[in-house]
Amino acid sequence: MTDVGRTLRVALCCAALAALTAGCVVHETRPLPKINATQADHEIPADELLDVAVRAFDPGVPPEIAKDEQALNKKRIYPDIRHAESRYVATMLRATLEASGQWGAVRVVPEGVQFVDVLVSGKITESTGAKLALQVTVKDSTGRVWVNNKRYESSADTGSYKTDAALKARDPFQNVYSEVANDMLAAREALVVQSRRDIRRVTQLQFASDLAPQAMEGYLDHDQKGLLKVARLPAADDPISTRIDRIRERDSGVVDTVNGYYANFSDQMSDSYGQWRRASFEEIEKEQRTLNKARTRTYLGAAAILASVFVPQQCGAYDYNCRRIEGAVRTAGAIGGAASILSGLKKYSDAKTHAQALKELSESFQNEVAPQVVDVEGRTLKLTGTAEEQYREWRKLLHEMYLEENGTAGTPAPADTPSVGAPLPPVALDPAH
């Protein structure tokens, strides 16, 4: 091969290298396979139908950077949105559990609600339009842990982002909620029938013991594993048990009202939140593609410059035609490489612009999820951190209601009515009771 031929080969290589900097392969994201919650195929007996309470999730804002806006933005954490999501995620999980037909009453509740058959709590560890990750714990009233701080995560189902109708029809992260529901079902199915019935009895006695600890002393005990168990049951016609049951119904009414608030809040935010999620997903995709292009162009540009500088001399001392071609190739490689690097740097700048756009989208959404209040039994509950305080006040009111019902608030109790501290007349524990 002549010197001119070798030089032309170098020119072709540089030309191919420059061509690579102009292209970018984009992989199409396909919709994820759908996971659905297992539906009940038979009627579950009433004494085995467990009620579920889903607490509003921990927003997952790291306390060490809670006031560092730059650090939060870098992690794509927007505190106001996370607080709204903490309710929305809980509501979506509640809807999934309820729609399966596998459970009794399923409610979203504030932190203070304790006495329920099955309690679900969790934390948002990552939430963008592209990915959702949750840490979830589930346990029953006996203290048995069903799911122990398990991580559930999924990329967005892009099929939900295709149209507004698709976005309303199925949440982009429905797979996450379905997986939690199916794990809860598997844990329940692993229990024998008697264990499920005992859970409901323990819940009832826990509620009663909270209102009248002295009267209910000795009705609950712990087994060898440290789980709560029923030691004995009150008589079916016991007047104190009857009063406690009535108060529990009122408590359920309050919890239902709070649950309705969460549901209404999620309905109100669903449209704007769905649009924000879709925009967030698109911005993250654009940012990632831009960063990929920037890296590719920068690396290849640097390689082109190095190739033009370090390509060996191929022409003879007096072969002026060859030397002209070789010089032109070197110049073209350097210019092309520099242009590629500049293009890459511009792409990095574009990526920052997309990140800023995502921040602005988040800030605009925050204005649409302002705190709201709900009136319960003449009391105003503000569900933005004060709901727990309000529910604690309601629990105090329940104790007062019990004292009034029991005839010990202001007037003496009838002679035939046990006092608050008097133990309830026990009956032997019958497994069939």
| Beta carbons of 201 and 212 less than 8 angstroms apart | no
Structure letter (DSSP) for residue 309: H
Tell me the per-residue pLDDT of 109-168, one tens digit each, with 9 for 90 and over. Answer: 988 888 999 999 999 999 999 999 999 999 999 999 999 999 999 999 989 999 989 988
Reported pTM:
0.71
More confident residue, 86 or 340: 86
Residue 229 has pLDDT above 90, yes or no: yes
Query: Where does the pLDDT of residue 199 fall: very low under 50, low under 70, confident under 90, or very high at 90 and above?
Result: very high
- Reference 167, options 274, 302, 63, 15; nearest CA is 274
Tell me the per-residue pLDDT of 400-427, one tens digit each, with 9 for 90 and over. Answer: 767 776 665 444 434 333 333 334 444 3
More confident residue, 363 or 280: 280
Give the separation between CA 314 and CA 337, rounded to whole angstroms.
21
**What are 106's two structure tokens?**
């399923």
Average of pLDDT values for 65-87?
87
* pLDDT at site 334: 54
* pLDDT at site 414: 40
Mean pLDDT for all residues in the chain: 75
* pLDDT at site 407: 60
Tell me the per-residue pLDDT of 161-195, one tens digit each, with 9 for 90 and over. Answer: 999 899 889 999 999 999 999 999 999 999 999 99
Share of the chain above pLDDT 70, in %: 61
Give the separation between CA 10 and CA 49, rounded to whole angstroms.
77
6 sits in which H/E element: helix 3-21
Give the separation between CA 201 and CA 46, rounded to whole angstroms.
12
Structure letter (DSSP) for residue 147: E
* pLDDT at site 102: 97
- Reference 421, options 208, 212, 209, 242; nearest CA is 212
* pLDDT at site 432: 39
* pLDDT at site 25: 41
